A = this chain, B = another copy of it.
Amino acid sequence: MKILVSNDDGVYADGLWALVRELRDIATVIVVAPDRDQSGVGTSVTLRHPLRMTEIRSPLDGVIAYSVEGTPADSVILALKLVVKDGVDLVVSGINEGPNLGDDVFISGTVGAAVQGCFYGLPSIALSIAAFGSHHFNVAARLAKLLAGEIISRSLRHRILLNVNLPDLPCEELKGIEVTRLGERRYADRVEAGHDGKREYHWIMRGKSEWHLVPGTDVWALEENKISITPLFGNPDGASREFLESIAQAVFRKLVSSEKC
């Protein structure tokens, strides 16, 4: 099994390497990720400029890693076209610091990477944990490993994107897992004005979102201290809701019954 890992926090981010450390138990892992934090770039693909890709000294033995001067989506495209030409079985993007829920998924670079994996016909997972500076990357990473194992063993080989969010909790405090749909939020962007000494500027700042806490949504699941799995762009035949439910519950049972929990 071969897994391509990317993210939007940059190729040196702790979340990415926590993920890789688990995934390499079950697969050959190749890392291709942006050289810089790319928060907010969403699905952006660089078409107007060429890109640079450099192999980096990998923090983990046996894991090949490349740094791309571009977006998460660029990284996945270059990976699939240049680094793993014979293909991979799965694309995993993350672990993002901070949740990617509701409308926000459309500007998330973490999701943007997975969208490209999906467009190339691969099962893809975007993985986020609902906190900055989280101490529970290991929970998210083990979940990813279990989910990857299920996806492969059940031959879910076509294009599907699962957007996974975890509350920032130790394993034993998780209350369950839900297959959800995207929530809706009331936008809380602020635009701050400032001056650089020569000219005025404006800076878009993400404020705290006010969410409509509708049951069945990703936002609601996290509020309930549950893991949320939202299928996006999914093939409805191959990955029906029931099928996903059964995968989700199997994964959760394994996660909480593990001795590491």
Contact = CB atoms under 8 A, between A and B. Distances in A.
Interface of A: 12, 35-37, 39-53, 56-57, 59, 69, 71, 73-74, 77-78, 81-82, 98, 103, 106-107, 112, 115, 119-120, 132, 187, 189-192, 194, 196-207
Given A69-B36, A106-B115, A48 B191 contact: no
Given A50-B203, A53-B202, A73-B107, A187 B119 contact: yes
Nearest to A106: B43
Nearest to A104: B119
For the complex of A and B, list the 4 residue pairs with the smallest distance between their C-beta atoms, beginning with the closest: A42-B43, A40-B47, A50-B201, A50-B203
A192 B187 CA distance: 29
Given A41-B44, A50-B196, 16 more contacts: A36-B69, A37-B52, A39-B198, A43-B106, A47-B197, A47-B198, A49-B50, A50-B192, A50-B202, A51-B204, A57-B59, A98-B198, A120-B187, A196-B203, A197-B207, A198-B206
